[in-house]
């Protein structure tokens, strides 16, 4: 895996920000806000944003702010979205397939963790936007992030990832992306 992330070989996966689950997520509104900032910056830079929904017939859809930012929302029944074809969705023909995936979502210790592990097994580099991830219990969140780091995922924040995508202030989209970052909604 590369030490830095390149916007030209990247995609974003937003895991299970489902409306029915969010009230139970610690700091859920901040987690969603960070995920929306990540998605808005990615889209401004031409990076694909894919969402997943766990058992949408039972748990309902993602929050509308997340759903509208996703190019595709992939329904799944397994906690690991790759078990339901997520890796194939990321490798759709007609586009260069990403080598690195930035992932964020709920719950950190279940669907986010297992989907990140599935992406690692599928050969992707995985970058976890940790401040855009949430769970009901702080201990589960902490241990999930530790396990992800041990598994080879890179932990970062939304702003760390976005500024690596930009590389510098001469990027043609710098001002647009900077405005998105400044419009912090927490």
Looking at the 3D structure of the chain, how many domains does it have? Answer: 1
Q: Is residue 153 in a domain? A: yes
**Tens digits of residue pLDDT in 108-119:** 999 999 999 999
Q: Is residue 1 in a domain? A: no
**CATH number of the domain encompassing residue 166:** 3.40.50.850
Give the C-alpha separation, 69 to 62, whole Å.
11
Q: Is residue 2 in a domain? A: no
pTM over 0.85: yes
Q: Residue 186 contacts by C-beta under 8 Å, 6 or more apart in sequence?
A: 29, 30, 33, 34
Q: Is residue 169 in a domain? A: yes
Domain with 145, as residue range(s), is 7-182
Q: Is residue 151 in a domain? A: yes
Report the pLDDT averaged over residues 36-51. 97
Lowest mean pLDDT among 26-30, 70-74, 96-100: 96-100
**Tens digits of residue pLDDT in 129-163:** 999 999 999 999 999 999 999 999 999 999 999 99
Write the DSSP assignment of 30-98 as a string of letters.
Answer: HHHHHHHHHHHHHHHTT-EEEEEEESHHHH-PBPHHHHTT-SEEEEESSSSGGGGTHHHHHT-TTSPPP
């Amino acid at each position: 895996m590369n030490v830095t992330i390149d916007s030209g070989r990247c995609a974003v996966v937003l895991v299970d920000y489902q409306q029915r689950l969010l009230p139970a997520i610690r700091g859920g509104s901040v987690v969603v806000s960070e995920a929306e900032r990540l998605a808005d910056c990615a889209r401004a830079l031409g990076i694909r944003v894919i969402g997943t929904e766990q058992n949408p017939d039972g748990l309902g859809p993602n929050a509308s702010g997340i759903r509208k930012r996703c190019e595709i929302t992939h329904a799944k029944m397994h906690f690991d979205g790759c078990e339901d074809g997520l890796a194939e969705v990321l490798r759709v023909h007609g586009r260069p397939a990403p080598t690195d995936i930035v992932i964020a979502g709920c719950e950190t210790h279940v669907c986010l963790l297992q989907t990140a592990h599935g992406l690692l097994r599928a050969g992707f580099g995985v970058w976890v936007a940790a401040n855009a991830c949430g769970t009901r219990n702080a201990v589960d969140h902490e241990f999930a992030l530790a396990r992800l780091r041990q598994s080879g995922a890179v932990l970062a924040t939304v702003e760390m990832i976005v500024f690596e995508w930009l590389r510098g202030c001469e990027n043609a989209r710098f001002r647009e992306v900077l405005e998105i970052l400044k419009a912090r909604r927490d």
